[in-house]
Chains A and B, each alone.
Chain A
Amino acid sequence: MSALQQRISAARAEGRAALIAYLPVGYPDVDASIAAMVAAVEGGADVVEIGVPYSDPGMDGPVIQEAVDVAVRAGVGMRDVLRAAEAVAAAGAVPVVMSYWNPVERYGVDRFAADLAAAGGAGAITPDLIPDEAGAWIAASDAAGLDRVFLVAPSSTPARLRSTVAASRGFVYAASTMGVTGTRATVGDAAESLVARTRQAIADVGTDLPVCVGLGVSDGEQAAEVAGFADGVIVGSAYVRTLLEGRGPDGVRGLSEDLARGVRQRAGAPA
Chain B
Amino acid sequence: MTTSPVRPPESRPAPAAPTWPDATGHFGVFGGRFVPEALIAALDELTEAYEAMKVDPAFLEEFAALQRDYTGRPSPITEVSRFAEHCGGARVLLKREDLNHTGSHKINNVLGQALLTKRIGKSRVIAETGAGQHGVATATAAALMGLSCTVYMGEEDTRRQALNVARMRLLGAEVIPVTTGSRTLKDAINEAFRDWVTNVETTNYVFGTVAGPHPFPAMVRDFQRVIGDEARAQLLEREGRLPDAVLACVGGGSNAIGIFTAFVPDEGVRLVGLEAAGDGVETGRHAATITGGSPGVLHGARSYLLQDDNGQTIESHSISAGLDYPGVGPEHSYLHDIGRAEYRPVTDAEAMEAFALLCRTEGIIPAIESAHALAGAMRLGREVGPDALLLVNLSGRGDKDVETASTWFGLGDREEVDPGPGLDTDQQPTEGAVSNDEAVAGQDAGEQA
Contact = CB atoms under 8 A, between A and B. Distances in A.
A67 to B, nearest CB: 13
A151 B36 CA distance: 8
A117 interface: no
B36 A133 contact: no
B313 A107 contact: no
Interface stretch (B96-104, B192-200, B390-398): B192-200
B11 interface: no
B312 A103 contact: yes
Interface string B167-199: 000000000000011000011001001100110
Contacts of B40: 130, 153, 155-156, 160
A106 B296 contact: yes
Interface string B14-58: 000000000010000000111111111110000000000000000
Interface string A33-55: 00000000000000000000111
A65 B312 contact: no
Interface residues of A, number: 42
B193 A105 contact: no
Scoring B33, B37, B39, B193 by chain A CB atoms within 10 A of each residue's CB, the highest score goes to: B37
Contact of B309 (A54, A69, A77, A175): A77
A57 B34 CA distance: 12
B327 to A, nearest CB: 10
Given A56-B186, A130-B37, A103 B198 contact: no
A78 B310 contact: yes
A24 B448 CA distance: 51
A156 B41 contact: yes
B311 interface: yes
B389 interface: no
A178 B297 contact: no
B41 A59 contact: no
Contacts of B187: 56
Given A76-B310, A102-B311, A107-B311, A130 B33 contact: yes
Contact of B299 (A56, A75, A76, A152): A56
Given A101-B297, A102-B298, A175 B36 contact: yes
B24 A132 contact: yes
A55 B313 contact: yes
Contacts of B38: 151, 153-156, 175, 178
Scoring A102, A153, A164 by chain B CB atoms within 10 A of each residue's CB, the highest score goes to: A102
Contacts of A77: 309-310
A13 B431 CA distance: 87
B234 interface: no
Nearest to A127: B36
Given A156-B37, A179-B197, A58 B310 contact: no
A179 B198 CA distance: 4
Contacts of A6: none
B324 to A, nearest CB: 15
A171 interface: no
Contacts of A107: 310-311
Interface string A114-137: 000000000000011110110000
Nearest to B42: A155
Contacts of B311: 54, 102-107
Nearest to A72: B312
B197 A102 contact: no
Contacts of A54: 311-312
Interface of A: 53-59, 61, 65, 69, 72, 75-78, 101-107, 127-130, 132-133, 150-157, 160, 164, 175, 178-180
Given A58-B193, A102-B311, 10 more contacts: A55-B181, A55-B313, A58-B194, A61-B194, A65-B180, A103-B312, A106-B296, A153-B38, A175-B37, A175-B38
Interface of B: 24, 32-42, 180-181, 186-187, 190, 193-194, 197-198, 200-201, 296-300, 307, 309-313
12 contacts: A54-B312, A56-B313, A59-B197, A77-B309, A102-B313, A103-B312, A132-B24, A152-B37, A153-B40, A175-B38, A178-B198, A180-B194
